[in-house]
C-alpha cells in the first residue's frame, strides 16, 4: 500500500521504556511490562533503602573531587562537561546509517556469523535492493564482501586498544646442547593497560555503580558494613599512604587496578589448546558492575605458555626461567601505569566529570596454583602466611610480606627457605617493582575454587563418599551412594533450582553445579553418615552463605568466625573415622584468611574467579571458535579488538537513544527527518512490527499462557533479575487469569473437587467484611457470595536478594505456581507466610498453595488477591540440632487437610521443603513430582538462595 512520509506511524515501535526490550506488538509490550516491571503500590511494600538507611564516611584527603581540564577543582554543583564521542556529521560513522551498523553488530557480535554467512546476508540485502531498483531507486549495499565489512569495523575509533607483541627469550648461560626452551622466543601479546583502563573508567553505564573515593559504610545502628572494594580497609589504607607521601595528591581519586588471570583450555580434541589471558578491572566500580561481564573486566594480555616434555619440566633451570618470565610479563602489563602511581593524571569518569587519578595495583583474582606462582612460594604452602603444609591451620602464623621475605632471603640458605618457610629465593614477584604493592597482601579470596568447588565439592562431598566406602565396603557403599543420588534427584522442584536427574555422579562439574548441589545435599546424607559429619557440612554451608553475600555486616562476620571455628572442630570426624589422614589443605586453610580479606577488600563476591571464568567465554573461547584454528591467537586478538570497538560504539549509540525501537522503525524516522516534500513509499507489511517477526513470543507472554503452559515453561524464566529500587517483598498475581475455570463460587467448588474451599472462602470474605467478629460455625448456610472469581496459575514474588544474580537495585523475581497440569503433572509450590514480627522462622509459616484467585466483593467493591493454602506446622521450638534446619509437617485433622484462604499480601515469597527421608531407601519408581505428598516431615531449606538464608536467620 502506498504511504506518505509518516512511515514511522505505520511501523510502530513497541519498546519497553524500562529495559529497552523490543516487543512484537502492543499486546506483547503490555504483557512484558506486567510480567517484568509491574509496579508496587505503597501499601504492598516499603522502601527498604529507607528502612535500612546507610551512612558513609568519605576519605578526607583522597576524595575524588571533580576538576576542570587544567586539574583545578570545580565549584560545587557544577554540571559535568558534555562529551560527544560520536561524529556530529554522522553519528553512525564509520557506518553509513543505522541499518549498516545494526547489520554489522548482529552478524559480528550477536550471531557471530562466519564470513560465508555474512556474504550470504549481503547477497540477500543486494537482492532486496535490486528488487527495489525495478520500482524506483537503488544505491547498492555498503559492502561487497565480508572483508569490506571488517575494514569498516576496524575504522571505529571508540574502544580502540590494539594488541602488540613483545618477544622474550632465555638470557642465561647455554649448555653445549641447549634444550629448545632455552633458544625459543616467547610472545607476550598485550594492550596499553593505561588506555584500556581509561576506557573502562569513562564508561557512562557505570555512573551509578562507581565510587570515586574510599568510604566506610555503616548501618543505622552504627555497625560497619563491607560491600564493594572501595568500602573496605585496604583502599582506605592506601589513600592514607598516598596522602602522606604526596600532599599534592590530596583531592585526587584512588584507582585500584585489579588483575585476574587463569589458564583456560579451548579444546580437548585438538590437543588441550591452552591460553593464559590476563584481565584488568578498576576497583572503583561496584561488585554488581564487575560481575555484569561487560566493560568492567577486559583482557589486556595473553601470557606465553612454554611447552616442554615432563623431563625438562622438572629441571630447576626451566622452573626458574618460566616463573621469572611469568613475573616479567605481568610487570610489563602494569608498566604503563607506573607514572600514574606517583603523580595524579586526569581521567574521565563514568559520571562525566574529570578527576585527578592516582593508580595502585589492586587485588589479584587467581586460583591456588596461580597464587603459588604469583607469590613465589612452594606448592602446598599458603601465599598469605607462613603456616607449614602439615599444619596449615595452626594459630598465630605470621603474615607474609615483601619486607619479611627479603630479610629471610638475605639471612637464610636457599634450602632452608624452601623447607622451613616455603619461599622460592630464585623468583622476585612483580609487585616488588611497584609502589605500595605487596603480592601477599593483594591476593584476593577466591569463592569459586577455595570454597564452592574446593572445600565443598572436591573435599567434603568426596570425603563423605570415601567414608561410606571405608565404613560399609564397596557393595553396600555403592547401594547407599545410589540412594543418596535418588534423594538428590527427588527433591521438590523450585524456581531456579538445577535438577540433578541422576544425582551428583556426573563427569563434567561447573561452579554452578556445585552451588546447586549445596542447596539440596545436606538432607540427602542424613542417616547415612554420623551426625557430626552432617553438622560439619551444616557449619560450612552457613559459613559459605555468609561469604557469598554482597554486603557483609559486623554481626555476619562474628557469625562467620563462630561457624569457621565449629567447622574446624567438627571436620575432625573425618580423621577419627579413618576417612582422612589429615585436613591440612591449602584451599581449606584459605577460609581462615577470608575474615581479614573481607575487612580489606569487601565482599568476596566481587573478586571471585568465577568472574574471570565467565569472561573466558567471550574473551577466549568464542574468538577461538571463530578462528581457523591455525595460529589462532593472532586471529583471536583481532576479533577481541573488533568486538570491543563494536560494543563500545553500541553503548554510546544506545546512550544517545539512537538504537530505540526496531531497525525499520529507526530508519523510518530518519527518512521522515530527511523528507521535505512528502514523497510516497511502497510497503507490503501490515503496519506493525508483527509483520517483521521481531521479538520473542515467550518473553512477551505471561508467566503462564492459556492453553500452552508447557511452552511457557520452556521459554519464560521462573526466577531472575529485575530492574527496580530496593523494595521489600511483594507478591502479585500474574497478568492473565485462566478462562477455563467457572466464575461462580458454587460451580468452582464442584470443578475443583474441593468441598472445603467454599467454607474457607466464605470465612475469608466474612473476616474482611467484619474483622471484629468471628465467623459463624455453619457459614455456608448463613452466607452467600454472588460475585465472580478469577483463577490464576501463578503469582510473581519480587524481593531484594543482592547476593544472587540480580538486576539494578538487587531485585529478584520468582514465579510461584499452582497449576494442575504443569509439564504433565500437578505443581503446587510452597510459600512463606508472614506470621508476626519475630525474626527468622519464628515469624513465618509454611503453606502449600492449592489455588491462586482474585475477586471483587459486591459488598464493598474491594478487590482481593488470594491463595487457597494448606499449612505445614512447625515441629518444635528450635531448628533440628543435626542439620540446623527447621522442620515442619503437614497439618492434618482427622485424616483431612484443613484449607484456608489468605490474602496475597501476607505471602513473603516461595519456600523450598526438603523431605526428611528417614532410614529407608527410596524405591526405584520414586519421582520428584511426588515429593510434597510422600513424606510426613520436611526440612525448611535455608540454602535455596541467599534471600531465604537471610530470611530464616535468627
- E strand map for 87-242: 164-169, 185-190, 215-218, 224-226
Whole-number Cα distances in Å, 363 to 54, 215, 333 = 26, 17, 15
Are 252 and 355 spatial neighbours (Cβ–Cβ below 8 Å)?
Answer: yes
The predicted structure's pLDDT at residue 161: 95
Q: Are residues 575 and 455 in the same domain?
A: yes
> Containing H/E element for 586?
helix 586-589
Residues 6+ apart with CB under 8 A from 145: 119, 122
734, 645: one domain: no
Question: From residue 642, how far is each of 36, 92, 365, 612, 639 by CA, in Å?
Answer: 33, 16, 26, 20, 5
Residues 727 and 762 in one domain: yes
How would you classify the pairing of strands 354-365 and 253-261?
parallel
How far is Cα 21 from Cα 111, in angstroms, rounded to an integer? Answer: 18
Strands 811-822 and 825-828, by their bridges, are: antiparallel
Verify that 597 and 469 share a domain, yes or no.
Answer: yes
Say what the pLDDT of residue 839 is.
Answer: 86
Per-residue pLDDT at 947 = 84
225 in a structural domain: yes
Q: Are residues 222 and 350 in the same domain?
A: yes
Q: 69 in a domain, yes or no?
A: no
Spatial contact of 683 and 10, defined as CB atoms under 8 Å apart: yes
Q: Return the H-helix or E-strand segment holding 441.
A: helix 439-442
pLDDT of residue 268: 54
User: Could you give the 3-state DSSP secondary structure of residue 15?
Assistant: strand
Instruction: Using alpha carbons, select from 826, 829, 806 the residue that is nearest to residue 911.
Output: 829
> CB-based contacts of 730: which residues, under 8 Å, 6+ apart?
40, 44, 45, 797, 798, 799
Is 0.85 topped by the overall pTM?
A: yes
842 CB-side CA count, 13 A? 8
Q: What is the DSSP string of 709-773?
A: HHHHHHHS-SEEEE-S--B--EEEE-SS-BTTS-SSHHHHHHHHT-THHHHHHHHHHHHHH-TTS
Q: Do 431 and 472 lie in a common domain?
A: no
Residues 210 and 106 occupy one common structural domain: no
CA distance 354 to 205: 16
Residue 2 backbone phi and psi in degrees, to 5: -75, 135
Can you name the residues that pair with 406 across neighbouring β-strands?
A: none
3-state secondary structure of 425: coil
**What are the average pLDDT values for consecutive 10-residue runs of the chain, which has 954 residues?**
46 61 66 57 37 81 96 94 90 92 93 91 83 64 91 95 95 90 95 97 94 95 95 98 94 97 78 88 94 88 92 91 97 98 97 97 97 97 96 91 95 95 96 96 96 95 96 94 92 89 65 88 96 98 94 94 97 97 96 97 94 93 92 94 95 90 77 53 37 34 35 46 55 93 96 94 94 89 92 90 53 90 93 88 95 95 96 95 96 88 94 93 89 94 90 83
Give the domain-ending residue among 619, 649, 679.
Answer: 649
Reduced to 3 states (helix: H, G, I; strand: E, B; else coil), residue 390 is helix
Domain assignment present for 578: yes
DSSP helix/strand/coil, 541: helix
Pairing of strands 215-218, 224-226: antiparallel
Rounded-to-10 torsion of CA 226, 228, 233, 236: -140
Query: Does residue 252 fall inside a structural domain?
Result: yes
Q: Is 733 inside a domain boundary?
A: yes
Q: What is the C-alpha to C-alpha distance for residues 337 and 255, in angstroms, rounded to an integer?
A: 11
Burial status of residue 672 (CB atoms within 10 A of its CB: 0-12, 13-18, 19 or more): middle
Closest by CA to 554, choosing from 599, 496, 614, 517, is 599
Whether residue 665 is contained in a domain is answered as no
Spatial CB neighbours of 10, under 8 Å, sequence gap ≥ 6: 3, 668, 683, 687, 688
pLDDT of residue 18: 59
Q: In whole angstroms, how large is the CA radius of gyration of the chain? A: 31
* Same structural domain, 142 and 212: no
Q: Are residues 517 and 619 in the same domain?
A: no
Neighbours of 38 (CB within 10 A): 17
Instruction: Count the domains in the chain.
Output: 4
| Distances in whole angstroms, Cα of residue 714 to Cα of each of 717, 769, 816 | 8, 42, 16
Asked if 545 contacts 560 with a C-beta cutoff of 8 angstroms, the reply is no
The grid coordinates listed for 545 are: 552463605
Do both 612 and 572 map to the same domain? no
Within a domain: 16? no
Please give the Cα distance from 687 to 954 (Å, whole number): 58
Q: Cβ(45)–Cβ(728) under 8 Å? A: yes
CA distances from 258 to 255, 335, 601, 637 (A): 9, 14, 11, 22
User: How many CA atoms lie less than 13 Å away from 233 in the CB half-sphere?
Assistant: 8
Whether residue 6 is contained in a domain is answered as no
843 and 771 both lie in a single domain: yes
138: CB partners within 8 A, 6+ apart:
129, 130, 132
Q: Pick from 742, 740, 738: which is nearest to 754 by CA?
A: 742
682's grid cell = 511502497
Residue keyed to cell 648461560: 173
* Residues 386, 397: Cα–Cα separation, whole Å: 6
In the structure, how many helices (H) and strands (E) does the chain have?
34, 30
| Residue 893 pLDDT | 86
790 and 847 both lie in a single domain: yes
Q: Which domain holds residue 219?
A: 163-376+427-444+607-649
Last residue of a domain, one of 138, 155, 172: 155
CA distance 259 to 437: 13
Amino acid at each position: 500500500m502506498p504511504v506518505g512520509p509518516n512511515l514511522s506511524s505505520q511501523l510502530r515501535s513497541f519498546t519497553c521504556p524500562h529495559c529497552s526490550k523490543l516487543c512484537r506488538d502492543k499486546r506483547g509490550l503490555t504483557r512484558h511490562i506486567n510480567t517484568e516491571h509491574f509496579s508496587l503500590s505503597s501499601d504492598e511494600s516499603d522502601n527498604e533503602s529507607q528502612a535500612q538507611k546507610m551512612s558513609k564516611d568519605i576519605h578526607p584527603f583522597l576524595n575524588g573531587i571533580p576538576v576542570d581540564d587544567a586539574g583545578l577543582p570545580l565549584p560545587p554543583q557544577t554540571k559535568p562537561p558534555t562529551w560527544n564521542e560520536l561524529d556530529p556529521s554522522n553519528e553512525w560513522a564509520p557506518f553509513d546509517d543505522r541499518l549498516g551498523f545494526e547489520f554489522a553488530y548482529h552478524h559480528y557480535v550477536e550471531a557471530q556469523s562466519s564470513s560465508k554467512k555474512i556474504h550470504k546476508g549481503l547477497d540477500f540485502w543486494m537482492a532486496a535492493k535490486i528488487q527495489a531498483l525495478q520500482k524506483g531507486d537503488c544505491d547498492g549495499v555498503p559492502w561487497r564482501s565480508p572483508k569490506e565489512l571488517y575494514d569498516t569495523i576496524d575504522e571505529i575509533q571508540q574502544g580502540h586498544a590494539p594488541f602488540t607483541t613483545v618477544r622474550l627469550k632465555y638470557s642465561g648461560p647455554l649448555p653445549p646442547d641447549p634444550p629448545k626452551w632455552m633458544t625459543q622466543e616467547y610472545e607476550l601479546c598485550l594492550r596499553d593497560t593505561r588506555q584500556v583502563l581509561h576506557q573502562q573508567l569513562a564508561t557512562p553505564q557505570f555512573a551509578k555503580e562507581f565510587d570515586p573515593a574510599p568510604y566506610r559504610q555503616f548501618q543505622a545502628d552504627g555497625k560497619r558494613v563491607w560491600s564493594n572494594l572501595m568500602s573496605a580497609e585496604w583502599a582506605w589504607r592506601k589513600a592514607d599512604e598516598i596522602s602522606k607521601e604526596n600532599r599534592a595528591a590530596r583531592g585526587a581519586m584512588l584507582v585500584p587496578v585489579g588483575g585476574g588471570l587463569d589458564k583456560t583450555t579451548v579444546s580437548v580434541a585438538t590437543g588441550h589448546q591452552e591460553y593464559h589471558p590476563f584481565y584488568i578491572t578498576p576497583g572503583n566500580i561496584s561488585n554488581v558492575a564487575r560481575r555484569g561481564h561487560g566493560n568492567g573486566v577486559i583482557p589486556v594480555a595473553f601470557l606465553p605458555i612454554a611447552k616442554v616434555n615432563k623431563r625438562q619440566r622438572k629441571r630447576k633451570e626451566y622452573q626458574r626461567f618460566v616463573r621469572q618470565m611469568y613475573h616479567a610479563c605481568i610487570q610489563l602489563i602494569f608498566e604503563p601505569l607506573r607514572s600514574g602511581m606517583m603523580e595524579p593524571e586526569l581521567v574521565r569518569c563514568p559520571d562525566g566529570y574529570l578527576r585527578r587519578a592516582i593508580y595502585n595495583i589492586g587485588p589479584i583474582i587467581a586460583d591456588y596454583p596461580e597464587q603459588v606462582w604469583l607469590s613465589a612460594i612452594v606448592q602446598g604452602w599458603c601465599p598469605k602466611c607462613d603456616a607449614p603444609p602439615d599444619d596449615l591451620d595452626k594459630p598465630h602464623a605470621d603474615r607474609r610480606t615483601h619486607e619479611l621475605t627479603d630479610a629471610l632471603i638475605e639471612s637464610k640458605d636457599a634450602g632452608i627457605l624452601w623447607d622451613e618457610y616455603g619461599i622460592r629465593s630464585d623468583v622476585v614477584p612483580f609487585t616488588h617493582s611497584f609502589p605500595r604493592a605487596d603480592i601477599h597482601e593483594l591476593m584476593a579470596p577466591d569463592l569459586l575454587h577455595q570454597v564452592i568447588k574446593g572445600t565443598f565439592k572436591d573435599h567434603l562431598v568426596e570425603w563423605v563418599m570415601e567414608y561410606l566406602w571405608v565404613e560399609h565396603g564397596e557393595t553396600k557403599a555403592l547401594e547407599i551412594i545410589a540412594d543418596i543420588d535418588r534423594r538428590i534427584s527427588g527433591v521438590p522442584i523450585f524456581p531456579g533450582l538445577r535438577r540433578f536427574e541422576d544425582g551428583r555422579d556426573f563427569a563434567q562439574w561447573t561452579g554452578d553445579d556445585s552451588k546447586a548441589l549445596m542447596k539440596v545435599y545436606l538432607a540427602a546424607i542424613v542417616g547415612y553418615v554420623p551426625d557430626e559429619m552432617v553438622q560439619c557440612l551444616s557449619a560450612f554451608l552457613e559459613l559459605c552463605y555468609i561469604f557469598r553475600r554482597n554486603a557483609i555486616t559486623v554481626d555476619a562476620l562474628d557469625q562467620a568466625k563462630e561457624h569457621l571455628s565449629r567447622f574446624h572442630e567438627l571436620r575432625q570426624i573425618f580423621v577419627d573415622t579413618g576417612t582422612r589422614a589429615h585436613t591440612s589443605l591449602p584451599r581449606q586453610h584459605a577460609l581462615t584468611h577470608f575474615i581479614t580479606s573481607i575487612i580489606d577488600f569487601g565482599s568476596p563476591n566481587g573478586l571471585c574467579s568465577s568472574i574471570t571464568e565467565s569472561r573466558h567465554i567471550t574473551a577466549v573461547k568464542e574468538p577461538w571458535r571463530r578462528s581457523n584454528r591455525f595460529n589462532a591467537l593472532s586471529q583471536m586478538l583481532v576479533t577481541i579488538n573488533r568486538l570491543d570497538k563494536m560494543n563500545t560504539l553500541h553503548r554510546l549509540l544506545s546512550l544517545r537513544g539512537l538504537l530505540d525501537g526496531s531497525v525499520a522503525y529507526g530508519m523510518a524516522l530518519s527518512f521522515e527527518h530527511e523528507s521535505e516534500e512528502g514523497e510516497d513509499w511502497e510497503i507490503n507489511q501490515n503496519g506493525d512490527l508483527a509483520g517483521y517477526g521481531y521479538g520473542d513470543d515467550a518473553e512477551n507472554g505471561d508467566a503462564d499462557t492459556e492453553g500452552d503452559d508447557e511452552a511457557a515453561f520452556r521459554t519464560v524464566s521462573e526466577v531472575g533479575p529485575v530492574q527496580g529500587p530496593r523494595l521489600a517483598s511483594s507478591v502479585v498475581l500474574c497478568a492473565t487469569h485462566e478462562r477455563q475455570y467457572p466464575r461462580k463460587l458454587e460451580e468452582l467448588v464442584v470443578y475443583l473437587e474441593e468441598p472445603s474451599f467454599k467454607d474457607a472462602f466464605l470465612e475469608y470474605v466474612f473476616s474482611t467484611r467484619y474483622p471484629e467478629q468471628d465467623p459463624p460455625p455453619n457459614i455456608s448456610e448463613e452466607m452467600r457470595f454472588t460475585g465472580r472469581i478469577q483463577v490464576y496459575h501463578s503469582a510473581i514474588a519480587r524481593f531484594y536478594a543482592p547476593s544472587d544474580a540480580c538486576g539494578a537495585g538487587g531485585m529478584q523475581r520468582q514465579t510461584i505456581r499452582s497449576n494442575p497440569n504443569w509439564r504433565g503433572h500437578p505443581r503446587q509450590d510452597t510459600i512463606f507466610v508472614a506470621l508476626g514480627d519475630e525474626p527468622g522462622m519464628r515469624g513465618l509459616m509454611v503453606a502449600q498453595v492449592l489455588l491462586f484467585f482474585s475477586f471483587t466483593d459486591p459488598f464493598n467493591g474491594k478487590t482481593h488477591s488470594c491463595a487457597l493454602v494448606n499449612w505445614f506446622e512447625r515441629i518444635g521450638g528450635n531448628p533440628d540440632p543435626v542439620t540446623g534446619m527447621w522442620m515442619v509437617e503437614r497439618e492434618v485433622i482427622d485424616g483431612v487437610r484443613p484449607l484456608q484462604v489468605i490474602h496475597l499480601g501476607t505471602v513473603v515469597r516461595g519456600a523450598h521443603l526438603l523431605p526428611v527421608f528417614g532410614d529407608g531407601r527410596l524405591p526405584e519408581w520414586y519421582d520428584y513430582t511426588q515429593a510434597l505428598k510422600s513424606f510426613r516431615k520436611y526440612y525448611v531449606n535455608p540454602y535455596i538462595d541467599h534471600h531465604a538464608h537471610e530470611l530464616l536467620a535468627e
